[in-house]
A and B are shown apart, each in its own frame.
Chain A
Amino acid sequence: MESNVQTTKVLPTTGKKRRKKFIGSEAFYGYLFVSPMVIGFLLVMLFPLVYSIYISLTDWQLLGDPNFIGSENYQRLVNDPDFWVVLKNTIIFAAGLVPINILMALLLALLLQKSLPGIGLFRTAIFIPVMTSIVVWSIIWKYMFGTEEGFINQILAAVGIDGPAWLYDPDLAMGAVIVVSALKNVGLNMVLFLAALQQVDKNLYEASYLDGANRLKQFTNVTLPMITPTVFLTLILTVIGSMKVFGQIYVMTNGGPGNTTKVLVYYIWENAFKLFDFGYASAIALVLFVIILFFTIIQWSARRRWVFHEE
């Protein structure tokens, strides 16, 4: 008993001490390992984010010192007619891009999921634009949409149609940019859908077939519910992406004609780097941040209602 007590007395304490030291050092190494990420996050993400909140409360013009002006930038924002136009354009862009992109990606994935010889070629062809630089992609399309000597209007001319000035017509420019953006990124969503489709249990198709479901019923009652997690993922990514669109607008239309294609990020850039109004630009950037946060929260909380199964 004595020895028993002793051992229980000695062992736990030394064990505890050892463990304490051990746990301490493990945590230390743990922190050490995550430190590049954490420091990077603090320096590159959190610090600029907090700093931009401060900038948005000043009248910083890039040259000279920022003066604190309180909520003046936000008051200006509410009364700025251009801002509301820009906000409307951003929503139009997202409302156009998201359905086109998701539907097209799903359709392509359904077409290309069959393992036929040479199918990889088509999958690659559709995925290549995703890897292309957005600037290169936009420049090429800018030429394709050219009024006189553009590829599209040349083809239209060959069949006797006088093609419009795509990027200079206020009714067409936004549509052109949406199509170009959808084609650029459809490949990524398609690959995600392909992966999801291939994970759908084949037995379910057999079972539904025996129950008398046709192809359409199979799709709506088996395929679609089974891939809802992926639909959710692509939806959230595409919505956020469409809110942040900049490159194609900058290259193809410069926000024009007038301001029919001017979107939020372009407006931020214009205020910051063309008009050097960093305070105002930061205020708009914060509004964009809140909008994206808002959409993400809504989608996140709505997902329980319609996302079928999730691990």
Chain B
Amino acid sequence: MKRKIGLIFLTLLMITFTAACSNNTETGSKENGSKDEDVELTFMMWGNEAHQEVYNKLIAKFNETHPNINVTMESVPFPDYQQKITVLAAGKELPDVGWVAERMAPQFMENGLLADVSSFKDDKDYNMDDFFPSTLDLFEQDNKLYGIPFSTPPMVMFYNKNLFVDAGEKTPNEHVTAGTWTWEQFEKSAKAISSNGVYGANFFRDWNTWIALLSHTWANGGDLFNKDQSKFTWNSPQGIETLNMLDRMMFKDSSHPKAGEQVSFESGKIGMFFDVYSYVSAARNVKDFEWDIAPLPEGSEGRFPMLGQAGYGLFKDSKHPEEAKELLKFFTSQEGITATSTFFVPPRESVLSSDAFVNQPNNPPAESIKRAVIDEMDNARLQAGHVEWQKIDTAIQFGFDELFGQLKKPEDILKGMEEKINPILK
């Protein structure tokens, strides 16, 4: 133990030392440096290789107009991202520009890690009015803007067409057209297309995206928290029904994988998979079966896909704030957002309505994208984060472990979550 803690502190110590040293030299060079001096920027993200390729091209474009700015891209896996940024912040080693997901934003803003970029509004060429105003809500606080969104994907359903056809079932899109695409129907369809080793549906990516299930609760009128986020309200008839549905699908119908099974949609063994639209970057590589996207099922109160959101933040204490701003401006300009819209649902109206977003190689049919993504933008709900999101997430994940292990009944699980989370919210 001593050694482990010692190691951690030594590392921290070293980070602090190097940070202190490099800060000094940087301020020195900044004072007598001119605008054309070579500048190093770090851009941090959690993207996969396909994403990085797009950014490499984008950065090369950026260098045509800013040859003196050298941008280093660093990718950190999503589950570690928030932790990494926090540790870097403690060591004063933050990147200059980085991705920020919706549920990280409150913690970053609360701790003052992000710099104000509201000056972008004054730039006529940048045209801030092109952004959907709702997409900026996340980063706005006290009339200041602490980030710019680049991706606002609603959750959609990816489905394996072959499995439906083979089982002689109506596909989700056919149900949507017929107006019968309800959560009850979803459960029936999932059961109908399940067979040995093939599961009708999967809500989870890496067994921790329980948030996908909120769409079911919302569709029936429930919610995770109350309006001002002071109370946990998932322990409600609607929440219990959500967990009961998962319980039935896992253990009664065997239409959902059990914990510990790593079955991906790409393997062809999952009928319906819930993920944000950005998952197309992986789905486009599927060669073995036909797939499509559909809107989520609806409940008594309507259809409410969860809205994912990711943006760029300008981290405070950047050694080159002006250059970092230039980079951020370029990434979120119409050109930048168009480039990244190969994967991400663009927050700029001009790009969302363009053909470039829809007509990508191996994309699902244009009408499916219109129905499941563009038309659903108005129904989509953002699950706001919380400063203590990590603690909340840990408590909820704990409850799902109890469900996966059939240790407790859904009512008791939700009660346990409530008892743990309510004190955190106060």
Q: Are B111 and A257 in contact (CB under 8 A)?
A: no
A285 to B4, CA, bound (A): 10
Partner of A43, one of B10, B261, B407: B10
Of B5, B9, B261, most buried by chain A (CB within 10 Å of CB) is B5
Please measure, in the bound complex, the distance between the C-alpha atom of A88 and the C-alpha atom of B111, giving whole angstroms.
Answer: 36
Please determine whether A45 and B259 come into contact, CB atoms closer than 8 angstroms.
no
CB distance B401 to A258 under 8 Å?
Answer: yes
Classify the secondary structure of B's interface with A.
helix
Given A62-B87, A63-B111: A168 touches B391 (CB 8 Å cut-off): no
Of A49, A64, A274, which contacts B5 at CB under 8 A?
A: A49
Instruction: Tell me which residues across on chain A come within 8 A of B261, comparing CB atoms.
Output: 146-148
Q: Is the CB of A169 within 8 A of B6?
A: no
Asked if B2 and A168 sit within 8 Å, CB to CB, the answer is: no
Tell me which residues from 6 to 49 in chain B have a Cβ below 8 Å from any Cβ of chain A. Answer: 6-10
* B258/A168 in contact, CB under 8 A: yes
B405 to A285, Cβ gap below 8 A? no
Q: Which of A265, A274, A288 has the most CB of B within 10 A?
A: A274
Q: Does B78 contact A (CB under 8 A)?
A: no
- Is A83 part of the binding interface, using a Cβ–Cβ cutoff of 8 Å? no
Q: Is the CB of B1 within 8 A of A244?
A: yes
Q: Pick the contact of A258 from B5, B87, B390, B398 — CB < 8 Å? A: B398
CB of B342 to closest CB in A, whole Å = 33
B50 located at the interface, meaning its Cβ lies under 8 Å from any Cβ of chain A in the complex: no
Residues in B with CB closer than 8 Å to A257 are 259, 401-402, 404-405, 407
Q: Contacts A43-B10, A62-B90: A258 and B407 contacting too (C-beta < 8 A)?
A: yes
Is B391 within 8 A of A275, CB to CB?
yes
B86 within 8 A of A: yes
Interchain CB contact (< 8 A) of B86 among A44, A63, A166, A167: A63
If A167-B260, A275-B391 touch, whether A256 touches B401 (CB-CB below 8 Å) is yes
A169 to chain B: which residues have CB within 8 Å? Answer: 405
CB < 8 Å: which of B6, B87, B197, B404 contacts A45? Answer: B6
Within 8 Å of chain A (Cβ to Cβ): is B89? yes
Query: Which of A64, A258, A289 has a CB less than 8 Å from the CB of B111?
Result: A64
Which of A166, A170, A273, A285 meets B1, CB within 8 Å?
A285
Query: Does the CB pair B390–A275 fall under 8 Å?
Result: yes
Contact bitstring B88-110, A, C-beta under 8 A = 1, else 0: 01100000000000000000000
Chain A residue nearest to B257 (CB atoms) is: A148
In which size bucket is the chain B interface? Answer: 20 to 34
Q: Mark B300-339, 1 if CB is under 8 A from A, else 0.
A: 0000000000000000000000000000000000000000
Identify the interface centre among A48, A273, A292: most chain B CB within 10 Å of its CB.
A48
B229 contacts chain A at the CB level, 8 A cutoff? no
Contact present for B407 and A170 (CB under 8 Å): yes
CB of B124 within 8 A of chain A? no
In the bound complex, CA of A38 to CA of B398 (Å):
44
Instruction: Write the chain B residue with the least CB distance to A264.
Output: B1
Instruction: Say how far B415's CB is from chain A's closest CB, in angstroms.
Output: 15
Nearest-CB distance from A181 to chain B (Å)?
A: 17
Flag if A275 contacts B394 (CB, 8 Å). yes
Shortest Cβ distance from A276 into B: residue? B86
* Residue A28 is within 8 A (CB to CB) of chain B in the complex: no
Residues of B within 8 A of A258 (CB): 398, 401-402, 405, 407
CB–CB B260/A165 < 8 A: yes
A52 with B5, Cβ < 8 A, contacts A147-B258, A276-B86 known: yes
In the complex, chain A residues whose CB is within 8 Å of the CB of B4: 244, 246, 265
Is A209 located at the chain interface by the 8 A CB criterion? no
In the complex, chain B residues whose CB is within 8 Å of the CB of A45: 2-3, 6
- The interface residues of chain B lying within 8 Å CB-to-CB of A273 are 83, 87
CA distance A52 to B3 in the complex (A): 12
B258 touches A259 (CB 8 A): no
A47 part of interface (Cβ distance < 8 Å):
yes
Chain A residues within an 8 Å CB radius of B404:
168, 257
A-B contact pairs, 15 of them (CB 8 A): A45-B6, A48-B6, A48-B9, A48-B10, A63-B111, A165-B259, A170-B405, A244-B1, A246-B4, A257-B259, A257-B402, A257-B405, A259-B398, A273-B83, A274-B394
Binding site for A on B (CB under 8 A): 1-10, 83, 86-87, 89-90, 111, 113, 197, 258-263, 390-391, 394, 398, 401-402, 404-405, 407
Show the binding face of A for B, using Cβ within 8 Å: 43-45, 47-49, 51-52, 62-64, 146-148, 165-170, 243-244, 246, 256-259, 265, 268, 270, 272-276, 282, 285, 288-289, 292
What would 8 more interface pairs be, CB under 8 Å, given A48-B5, A63-B86, A244-B4?
A45-B2, A48-B6, A147-B261, A166-B260, A244-B1, A274-B390, A275-B394, A289-B2
Chain A to chain B: the 7 pairs with minimum beta-carbon distance, closest first: A168-B260, A48-B9, A147-B260, A48-B6, A257-B405, A168-B259, A257-B401
